[in-house]
Amino acid sequence: MTMVRTYMSSILGIDYGRRHVGLAIADEAVRQALPWKSLEVKTSADFIQQLKLVIKTESISKIVLGRPVKMTGEETILTAEVEAVAKELEVGLGVPIILVDERLTSKGQQVTSRNFQIDDHQLAARQLLEDYLLKH
């Protein structure tokens, strides 16, 4: 008897930074986020192209993007920039972008083994995606 895996759509979590972007991924059926990879951002167009490939290869149905705010809830210098990036991504990628509060997604330490490396951007992306999954 052959087992066939049916792939559900996935959710992509993004911890946005001006130079480095952390990604986490979760299958909608399993609803557990895993740190996935980091991207180096060179230009806006390059970033969108990299994400288009991710959306296609990983069957991404929506993106959860961290919205930076201070612990008091006030906006930071990056808040407006991330909101603009969210609008640009939604138009350029054709998938819904969900902004979520990233206040408590503190940057963790880098995790390394012989076979893989997980950096703090990926860990932050995983945390904000986990927070989203718990609430929805």
Question: Could you tell me the CATH number of the domain that includes residue 65?
Answer: 3.30.420.140
Angle between helices 44-58 and 79-93 (to 10 degrees): 50
Domain presence at residue 1: no
- What is the number of structural domains in the chain? 1
Q: List the pLDDT tens digit at each of the 136 positions of the chain.
A: 444 444 568 999 999 988 899 999 998 888 889 999 999 999 888 999 999 999 999 999 999 999 999 989 899 999 999 999 999 999 999 999 999 988 766 554 445 444 456 778 898 999 999 999 988 8
Q: Nearest to residue 21, comparing CAs of 131, 95, 102?
A: 102
* Position 73 in a domain: yes
Distance CA 123, CA 20 (A): 13
Question: Does 95 reside within a domain?
Answer: yes
What is the residue range of 73's domain? Answer: 10-135
Q: Identify whether 56 is part of a domain.
A: yes
Residue 4 placed within a domain: no
Residue 130, in any domain of the structure: yes
The tokens for 132 are 């989203």
Query: Does residue 31 form part of some domain?
Result: yes
- 20 assigned to some structural domain: yes
